[in-house]
A and B are shown apart, each in its own frame.
Chain A
C-alpha cells in the first residue's frame, strides 16, 4: 500500500518533469536530424510557463472546463497505472479523457478545431483495438490485468507477446502524435490545418494540454516497460533502455515520414491489430 502511494506521488511529481525533458530531447534530436542546433533542452518548460503568462481568452464558457477534465483524467489514468491498477481501467479512463479533449474542440464550433477533433476521434478508433489487445495479451500471459501482478509475475512477457509488442509500438506513433500519423495535431506547423484540434485553445488552456501530453507519454512508455519486466534489476534496466530506444525510434519515424492520409492510418493500424495482435493472442490461447 505504502509503495503504491509512493509510486503515485512520484508519478504526479516526476512525470511532467521527465515528460517535459523527453519533449525537449525530442526537439533537440529532431533538430540534429535536420542539421540544426535546436532549442535548449528546457524549451518545453519555457513554452508552458510562457503560455501561463498570456492573457486569458476563450471562445465560449465551457471549453476550458472540458480541457480541465481532460488534464484531470489523464493524470488519473496515469495514477491508475502507477498504482499498479487494472490495465483495462487505464485504457477506459484514457478514452474518457480523450473524449473530453474532443468535446472541448467540438464545443468551439470552429472548422479547424472540429476537423482536428474528428481526426482525433478517428485516431482513437484506429489505435483502440490494438491497445485493448495489448491488455488482453498481458492478461492471457500473466493471468491478471493488474500492473502490480504483471510486475511480479517473474517471466519476461516480451517473448510470448512479441507480435503485440510490435503492434503496440506501431500505434504508439499515433499516440505520440508523430508523423506519419499526426493527423489531429502536430508540433510541426507546416503540415497542420492551422493548429488542428488545439486551434481555439490559448494561454493556460493550451499549457494544460501540453502538460497532459507529458503525463500521457510517460504512462504510454510504461506499457512498453511492462513488456520487459521479469522481476530482476536486469529486466528493469532493459525496460528503461527500451523505452528510451522506442522514444528515439518514434522521433526518427517522425522526421523521416510526411503525414499520411487518414485512410492509411485506419487501415494500417487495424491490419496490424489483426495480424500482429490477433495472431499473437491465438498463439497464446493454445500455449496456455
Chain B
C-alpha cells in the first residue's frame, strides 16, 4: 500500500516544489528525476501487485476525510470567484449547488455509512497506473523543451511555467488517486481535482478563446460532477454504501443499481468527452501541446472511460447500459465523420480521440467479457499511440511553423525521423496487424454477440471513415518531394528521447499484446466476469496477427528505399520544368504544382456532424434519464 500512497503524494510534493523553485536548471533536473521516479514506482507497483486478483485496503482516516472536504470547499470557492470574475455564471451555479450538497451529505447521512475499503488495487488499476506513470511522466519531460520554446515565442510575457508544471504533476497525482479509490467520495474528490487542473491548463494562455474554452470544459465537467454527487447521494441513502466495489457486487448479485450506475456513467460520459459534451475536448486544443497530449492520452478522458469500464459489469441490457453504449456508438460514428473534414492535425487527432473513446464507452456499455477486453485494449493502445501522435505534431509545429496537414507535405523528406515516428503512430491507429485494429476487431465481434445490430452498423461505417482520414494524412506525409531541406536537426534532444520511447512502446505494445491479454487482461476479466470461458478470444488469429506484424516490420528493414532503378521525373503532361515541382504553363512560364487533400466539407462538415451527433446523444441521455425518473417517481 506504501507504493500507492507514494504515487499519490510524491507527484504532489514535486508539484509544490516546482511551484516554488523557479529557475530553469532546477526545474529541468527536478522534472526529469521525478519522471524517472514516478515511472519506476509505477512499474514497481505493477510488479508488486501483478499477482493480485483485486486487493482491498481498509485504510481509514477521519482527518483525511475532513481535509478532502475542506479542499473541496476551497475549490468550489475558487470556481465561484472565477465565475464572477469572468462572468460565467453557469459554472458558478453548478459549483454552488453540488459542493454544499456533497458536504451536507458527508456530514449527515454519509457520516453513518460504514466504508470498509477506501483503497483497492486490481489489474485494471495496474494498467492505468502504468499508463499514467509512464506516458504521463514522459509527456512532462517533453514539456520541458516545449515550454522553453513556448516561452520564447511569447517573449515579454510573464513566465508562468512554474504554474504549468505544478498543474501537470498535480494532475498525475489526482489521476493515481482516481484509479485506486474505492470510496466514491474520495474518487469524486480526485475527479474534481482533475476537472480543475484541466480547466487551468486549457486556460493557460489566458486569451479570450482559451478562457472561453476552459470554462466550457469546466461547466461540462461540473455537470458530470453533479451527476457523480447525485450517484453518491443515491448510493448512500438507498443502498447504504459508498464503495464502488460494493455497488458492483450488488449489481452482479441481482439487485438493481441502474440509477446510480446511470448517474456515474453520465459523469464518465462528460469526462470522456462524449457527445453532446465533446466540444470541451476540441476546445482544449488552444492549450500548449503537452496539455493536449496529457488530456487525450493518459489522463482526464481516460479517467472517464476508466470509471465506465469499472461499471461495465452492471451495465449491459439495462437502461444505464443502453444509454452508455448508444452514446458511445453515436459519438464514435459522428466524430469519425467529422475528422474527415479537418485539416488541422490537432483537430483530426482530437476527433479521433473522441471517436475512440466512443468505441471504448460503447464496449464498456455492452459490458460483456469480450467487449470489456476490447475496451481495455483500446485504452492501452490509444494512450500510447495518441500521446506519440500529439507530441509528434507538436514537434512538427515548432519546426515547420504549422499544424496544418496540408503543410506536412513531404514531411518524409524534411524530417525523416519524425515522419517515421508519425507513420508508426498513424498506422497503429487503424491498420491491420497493429493494436487498435485488433481491439476494434474484438469490439466488432462483441457487438455482434451482444445482438446490438445498430452498433454493428455503426462500427462498419465508422471504421470506413477512420481508414479514410488516417490514410489521406499518411499519404500526405509519405509524398516524396524533390529538393526539400532536412530541418530535423533543430529538434531538442529531450523531444527525440520522448518520441523515440513512445514509438518503441507502440511497437512493443503491439508485439506484446498477446502477452498483455493473457497475462493481465484475461485474469482480470475472469475475476470480474466470474465463470466465463477465457480461451475463446481470437486465439488462432492472434498468432496470425503477430506473424503479419513481423512481416510488416521486416519488409521495410529489408527493402525500404533500396532500389537500383533509374530515377526519372514525374509525368506532368510533358510540361515538367524538370524539378517535379513546377510545370510550364500556356504562357511558357513555370508554375508551381500544388496538391490539396480531400475534405468533403459538404458531406462531413464539422458543424453538421457535431449537430447530428449532439442531438442524437442528448436525446438518448434525456430519454433514458426521463424513463428512469419516471420509474422512480
Chain A–chain B contact at Cβ < 8 A? yes
Q: Mark B559-582, 1 if CB is under 8 A from A, else 0.
A: 111111111111111000000100
Chain A residues near B540 (CB-CB < 8 A): 86
Measured CB to CB, the residues of A under 8 A from B are 55-65, 68-69, 72, 76, 80, 85-86, 88-89, 92-93, 95-96, 99, 102-103, 105-114, 117-118, 121-122, 124-126, 128-129, 132-133, 136, 139-140, 145, 194, 199-200, 266, 270, 273-274, 277-278, 281-282, 285
Q: Out of A136, A200, A273, which one reaches B448, CB within 8 Å?
A: A136
Q: Give me 6 A-to-B residue pairs in the complex whose CB atoms sit less than 8 angstroms apart, sorted by A's number.
A: A88-B445, A110-B571, A125-B468, A128-B460, A132-B459, A282-B453
By beta carbon, the residue of chain B nearest A204 is: B565
Interface of B is mostly: helix
Q: Does B321 contact A (CB under 8 A)?
A: no
Q: Does B497 contact A (CB under 8 A)?
A: no
Cα separation A80 to B569 with both chains bound (whole Å): 38
Is the pair A57, B566 in contact by a Cβ cutoff of 8 Å? Answer: yes
Report the interface size class on chain B: 35 or more
Is the pair B563, A281 in contact by a Cβ cutoff of 8 Å? Answer: no
Cα separation A96 to B552 with both chains bound (whole Å): 10
List the 9 closest pairs (A to B, CB-CB), nearest first.
Answer: A106-B475, A128-B464, A96-B432, A110-B570, A129-B460, A132-B460, A60-B480, A92-B432, A109-B479
Q: Mark B475-513, 1 if CB is under 8 A from A, else 0.
A: 110111100000000000000000000000000000000
Cα separation A136 to B480 with both chains bound (whole Å): 39
**Known pairs A57-B565, A108-B480; A93 contacts B548 (CB<8 A):** yes
Give the contacts of B400-421 with A (CB-CB under 8 A): 410
**Known pairs A61-B567, A92-B441, A199-B571; A118 contacts B598 (CB<8 A):** yes
**Known pairs A57-B568, A96-B433; A128 contacts B467 (CB<8 A):** yes
Chain B residues near A60 (CB-CB < 8 A): 480, 567
**Known pairs A92-B441, A199-B571, A285-B451; A124 contacts B559 (CB<8 A):** no
Q: Does B603 contact A (CB under 8 A)?
A: yes
Is the pair B478, A59 in contact by a Cβ cutoff of 8 Å? Answer: no
By beta carbon, the residue of chain A nearest B423 is: A103
**Known pairs A109-B481, A111-B595, A266-B603; A124 contacts B565 (CB<8 A):** no
Cα separation A132 to B448 with both chains bound (whole Å): 12
Q: Does B597 contact A (CB under 8 A)?
A: yes
Interface centre among B460, B552, B569, B571 (most CB of A within 10 A): B460
Q: Mark B367-391, 1 if CB is under 8 A from A, else 0.
A: 0000000000000000000000000
Cα separation A85 to B547 with both chains bound (whole Å): 14
Is the pair A121, B555 in contact by a Cβ cutoff of 8 Å? Answer: no
Is the pair A99, B474 in contact by a Cβ cutoff of 8 Å? Answer: yes
**Known pairs A88-B444, A92-B441, A281-B457; A106 contacts B479 (CB<8 A):** yes
Q: Out of B456, B544, B562, which one reaches A61, CB within 8 Å?
A: B562
Cα separation A108 to B445 with both chains bound (whole Å): 38
Tally A-B pairs: CB < 8 A.
Answer: 177
Chain A residues near B568 (CB-CB < 8 A): 57-59
Is the pair A56, B560 in contact by a Cβ cutoff of 8 Å? Answer: no
Is the pair A76, B548 in contact by a Cβ cutoff of 8 Å? Answer: yes
Cα separation A76 to B433 with both chains bound (whole Å): 13
Distance between A167 CB and nearest chain B CB, rounded to angstroms: 11
Cα separation A273 to B445 with both chains bound (whole Å): 19
Is the pair A68, B559 in contact by a Cβ cutoff of 8 Å? Answer: yes
Is the pair A114, B565 in contact by a Cβ cutoff of 8 Å? Answer: no
Distance between B405 CB and nearest chain A CB, rounded to angstroms: 13
Is the pair A86, B541 in contact by a Cβ cutoff of 8 Å? Answer: yes
Cα separation A268 to B237 with both chains bound (whole Å): 55
Chain A residues near B410 (CB-CB < 8 A): 109
**Known pairs A88-B444, A92-B432; A125 contacts B464 (CB<8 A):** yes
Give the contacts of B440-475 with A (CB-CB under 8 A): 441, 444-445, 448, 451, 453, 456-457, 459-461, 463-465, 467-468, 471-472, 474-475
Chain B residues near A128 (CB-CB < 8 A): 460, 463-464, 467
Is the pair B433, A65 in contact by a Cβ cutoff of 8 Å? Answer: no
Chain B residues near A89 (CB-CB < 8 A): 541, 544-545
Interface of A is mostly: helix
Is the pair A80, B565 in contact by a Cβ cutoff of 8 Å? Answer: no
Is the pair B567, A65 in contact by a Cβ cutoff of 8 Å? Answer: no
Is the pair A95, B467 in contact by a Cβ cutoff of 8 Å? Answer: yes
Q: Out of B437, B475, B565, which one reaches A58, CB within 8 Å?
A: B565
Is the pair A274, B457 in contact by a Cβ cutoff of 8 Å? Answer: yes
Cα separation A68 to B562 with both chains bound (whole Å): 12
Is the pair B464, A129 in contact by a Cβ cutoff of 8 Å? Answer: yes
Is the pair B566, A55 in contact by a Cβ cutoff of 8 Å? Answer: yes
Is the pair B561, A61 in contact by a Cβ cutoff of 8 Å? Answer: yes
Q: Does B556 contact A (CB under 8 A)?
A: yes
Chain B residues near A63 (CB-CB < 8 A): 480
**Known pairs A65-B559, A107-B479, A266-B603; A278 contacts B457 (CB<8 A):** yes
By beta carbon, the residue of chain B nearest A205 is: B565
Chain B residues near A270 (CB-CB < 8 A): 461
Q: Does B431 contact A (CB under 8 A)?
A: yes
Give the contacts of B574-610 with A (CB-CB under 8 A): 580, 593, 595, 597-598, 603
Distance between A145 CB and nearest chain B CB, rounded to angstroms: 8
Is the pair A278, B453 in contact by a Cβ cutoff of 8 Å? Answer: yes
Cα separation A139 to B564 with both chains bound (whole Å): 47
Distance between B389 CB and nearest chain A CB, rounded to angstroms: 17
Interface centre among B456, B464, B572 (most CB of A within 10 A): B464
Chain A residues near B571 (CB-CB < 8 A): 110, 112, 194, 199-200
Given A62-B560, A96-B552, A107-B480, 7 more contacts at CB 8 Å?
A55-B566, A106-B479, A109-B580, A117-B475, A121-B468, A132-B444, A136-B448
Cα separation A124 to B472 with both chains bound (whole Å): 12
Cα separation A142 to B445 with both chains bound (whole Å): 14
Is the pair B567, A59 in contact by a Cβ cutoff of 8 Å? Answer: yes
Cα separation A126 to B464 with both chains bound (whole Å): 8
Is the pair A114, B544 in contact by a Cβ cutoff of 8 Å? Answer: no
Chain B residues near A121 (CB-CB < 8 A): 467-468, 471-472, 475, 598
By beta carbon, the residue of chain B nearest A59 is: B570
Is the pair A69, B467 in contact by a Cβ cutoff of 8 Å? Answer: no
Is the pair B566, A58 in contact by a Cβ cutoff of 8 Å? Answer: yes
